[in-house]
């Protein structure tokens, strides 16, 4: 439905997009994940027609958008800032898009449409209230409502939850997911938060330096990340990356010899090759169990509600895992511990280089 091919855009000496390719399918909720300055907002504005690409093509429903004005593209965009009229009522803010010449609806149909969207967002009881009297969470719902209320073939959402506190973000993620299931309108959602991307996206695109590095489902991104930087972007705590080399038997030995792992089922690198082994915290367990045994000492523990993040020294490197509070009770720094690691989910990467992150090795 949304297709970008070879799109480049520069602002002076800053290259915001660098030959970007992107495909968003009809009816899917697509999350574009990347850090600040990666090109996320520029991508949205290029799709909306608010920025014109220096090179490349933008297509909507198979139609090249060159020469098509923003108001004729049939997309609705929600900016990171709320962009509301603070002295007008919630109803008037929601009605504003429906009063434009291109999207005008009869008064009765407009009231019906506004009522449907307000009910969906849980703001039906606020329609007569001034926007200036609303909380941040309520304002965010109104801003989303202004996007959802108008007929559109695609929604473009630019970090709409970034200004909310953690509790409200979690609540709004659930509501957005429900809205996506109900509306099934093609949605391109920009975020820097991997939790949001994993929670919301039918598929996820990882953008870096103006290019799409990897696109896939949450399972594909999680289990087969393109490189170490993609792997680091997903999961809290972050993935553990252990430097070392491939052994003659197809295994792994850390640089200090403290960690040895069997990689014969996934090693596709010659013996002596410098590599990084990726171990997700969820694939480590405290104590003995099935998998590779490891021994180390406790470095630090941090309580995370009902669970505890335990950082363990394995020779010169450290690994983090999360365990229930009961399992971590009594652990103190420098206590000896045994770990086991699930071998089926180990990831193997090339060593990071100054010019680029290490790419994943294997299928």
Span 46-59, pLDDT tens digits: 999 999 999 999 99
Which residue in 312, 332, 314 sits closest to 322, CA to CA? 312
SS3 content of the chain, % helix, strand, coil (to 5): 30, 35, 35
Phi (first) and psi of residue 186, to 5 degrees: -55, 125
- What the block records as the tokens of 312 is 């363990």
The pLDDT value given to residue 267 = 57
Residues with Cβ within 8 Å of residue 8, at least 6 apart in sequence: 15, 17, 18, 19, 20, 53, 54, 55, 56, 210
Tell me what the pLDDT averaged over the chain comes to. 91
121, pLDDT greater than 80: yes
How far is residue 246's CA from residue 264's CA, in Å, rounded to a whole number?
10
Tell me the whole-structure pTM to 2 decimals: 0.90
Q: 302 with 240: CB under 8 angstroms?
A: no
How far is residue 214's CA from residue 231's CA, in Å, rounded to a whole number?
11
User: Quick one: pLDDT band at residue 292, thresholds 50, 70, 90?
Assistant: confident
What domains can be seen in the chain, in order of their start residue? 2-232 (3.40.50.300), 238-361 (2.40.50.140)
User: Quick one: pLDDT band at residue 181, thresholds 50, 70, 90?
Assistant: low
- What the block records as the tokens of 220 is 């594909």
User: Quick one: pLDDT band at residue 264, thresholds 50, 70, 90?
Assistant: low
Q: Tell me the per-residue pLDDT of 213-242, one tens digit each, with 9 for 90 and over.
A: 999 999 999 999 999 999 999 998 999 999
Q: Tell me the per-residue pLDDT of 125-160, one tens digit each, with 9 for 90 and over.
A: 999 999 999 988 888 889 888 988 888 899 999 998
């Amino acid at each position: 439905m949304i297709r970008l091919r070879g799109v480049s855009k520069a602002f002076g000496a800053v290259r915001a997009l660098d030959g970007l390719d992107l495909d968003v399918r009809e009816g899917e909720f697509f999350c574009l994940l990347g850090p600040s300055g990666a090109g996320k907002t520029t991508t949205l504005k290029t799709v909306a027609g608010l920025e014109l690409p220096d090179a490349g093509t933008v297509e909507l429903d198979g139609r090249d958008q060159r020469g098509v004005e923003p108001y004729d593209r049939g997309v609705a965009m929600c900016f990171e800032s709320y962009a509301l009229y603070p002295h007008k009522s919630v109803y008037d803010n929601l009605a504003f898009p429906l009063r434009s010449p291109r999207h005008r609806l009869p008064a009765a149909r407009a009231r019906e449409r506004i009522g449907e969207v307000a009910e969906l967002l849980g703001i039906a009881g606020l329609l007569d209230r001034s926007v200036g009297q609303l909380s941040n969470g309520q304002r965010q719902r109104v801003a989303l409502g202004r996007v959802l209320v108008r007929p559109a073939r695609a929604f473009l959402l630019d970090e709409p939850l970034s200004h909310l506190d953690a509790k409200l973000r979690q609540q709004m993620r659930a509501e957005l997911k429900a809205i996506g299931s109900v509306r099934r309108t093609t949605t391109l959602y920009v975020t820097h938060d991997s939790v949001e991307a994993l929670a919301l996206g039918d598929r996820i695109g990882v953008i870096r330096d103006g290019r799409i590095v990897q696109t896939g489902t949450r399972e594909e991104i999680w289990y087969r990340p393109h490189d170490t930087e993609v792997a680091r972007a997903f999961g809290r705590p972050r993935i553990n990356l252990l430097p070392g080399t491939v052994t003659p038997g197809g295994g792994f030995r850390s640089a200090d010899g403290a960690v040895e792992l069997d990689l014969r089922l996934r090693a596709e690198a010659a013996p002596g090759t410098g590599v990084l082994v990726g171990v997700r915290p969820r694939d480590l367990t405290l104590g003995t169990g099935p998998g590779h045994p490891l021994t180390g000492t406790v470095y630090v523990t941090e309580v995370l509600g009902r669970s505890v993040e335990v950082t363990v020294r394995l020779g010169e490197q450290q690994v983090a895992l999360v365990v229930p509070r009961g399992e971590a009770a009594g652990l103190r720094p420098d206590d000896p511990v045994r770990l086991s690691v699930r071998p089926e989910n180990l990831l193997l990467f090339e060593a990071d280089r100054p010019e680029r992150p290490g790419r994943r090795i294997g299928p």
